[in-house]
Chain A
């Protein structure tokens, strides 16, 4: 159906409902984006250990949060939801830049955040000893790449990845980076050194100072308590193997931004 101005605004006016989990950084991304766009939405908290029939119906493929329902239509996958918000509300505070090449860069680094940095941070959280040391090195390598882009690459001279205002990459990286301080506290490991990653550090500080962000990210005490519980469980499971870690009870893969054991398929990957 061709999008006329009339049915466009009708569509935009339809109610929004977000299914999420309070500790899920993927959920926070959507909450933050909705707030940045000034959009009202209803919120339904999901117990990840006991998912509602409604959630399973709305996201049958992955059965995960977040899912955004707009005018009765379900949208899963946070980065897809964020781009949807831009497509459906293009005039209000765009998350993606206008230029095609800049958009490709934003998407590239969002994918990097979810495919590389997130799992590396998760690996730090789920391991101890030498394994953890290796995971920490991986996190530092990943952060160094981002720092380099801020220093003299694609994002040099910018206050935020989006420029003067936050954009898609800020939301994606930011809603997850607050876990770094929490994990540092819980594991006793140094992840974001202000000396080693000064630009990343100052970006995160500016990001976390924004009103909409402060409204979205849970209190640090709650996050710490939650993280301590998950770490305790993960270390207990480390001996029990993969099966327990993939159970539906409060899966670490869904709550902290991918606090999952390193991908088992990594060693059989064939790159072409």
Chain B
């Protein structure tokens, strides 16, 4: 059996917000890693072997051992490299529970609703738009007047949600609303996060994301 490759490798897909969470976490901690772009239409042997259950990216390989699911990967990075600052999860148990709650909320809600927003038409799209506004307002409220979701420090919830800020433009165009107008605190937070190196380096411009959605629509035969 071949020796396991040492160090960190990330199996990922360029525009995936889930993959970006991992890239941002790794950069926040200053951890070097090998980025391996995956072809999702023709999945590699390595991907299928590393995530046989879901066959999805992202997958983090640490000395050859796979960790799957983006939020689990981010927590793993925080725990396996606990000596490296910043700590992405706070120390206080209740604050940790709140952080997990909101990251999980983002996971349960944002991407699926966003997909329905650009994929569906008519009443179903209207419903998705209504839901997306509710979701964003809930998150705006959770953020409150804090600098970041965790308070003063950029942390777990920020990492979980910030990749979706590159999708705001697309949500706005399909949903016909303005994040700035509906959720000003969230819009300000997005800008603030965008000033961090880890975020600026790893997110694609919103127009590129919008273009990507256009490609997906063609692929699915949607007008």
Contacts and interface: CB of A to CB of B under 8 A. Distances in A.
Contacts, number: 80
Given A84-B97, A108-B68, A265-B112, A103 B16 contact: no
Given A108-B69, A270-B119, A101 B80 contact: yes
A80 B100 contact: yes
A70 B97 CA distance: 12
Given A108-B69, A145-B53, A268-B115, A103 B76 contact: yes
Interface stretch (B88-96, B172-180, B199-207): B88-96
A32 B102 CA distance: 25
Interface string A100-128: 11011001100110000000000000000
B65 interface: yes
Interface secondary structure of B, over-half rule: helix
B33 interface: no
Interface in B91-142: 91-94, 96-97, 100-101, 104-105, 112, 115-116, 119-120, 138
B97 A87 contact: yes
Interface in A86-107: 87-88, 100-101, 103-104, 107
Interface residues of B, number: 38
A107 B75 contact: yes
A1 interface: yes
Interface in A27-58: none
Contact of A3 (B72, B92, B220): B92
Given A61-B105, A83-B97, A88-B93, A271 B56 contact: yes
A111 B56 CA distance: 14
B75 A75 contact: no
A36 to B, nearest CB: 17
B94 A84 contact: yes
What 10 A-B pairs are tightest by C-beta distance, nearest first? A87-B93, A100-B80, A100-B79, A84-B97, A88-B93, A104-B76, A272-B16, A104-B67, A107-B72, A80-B100
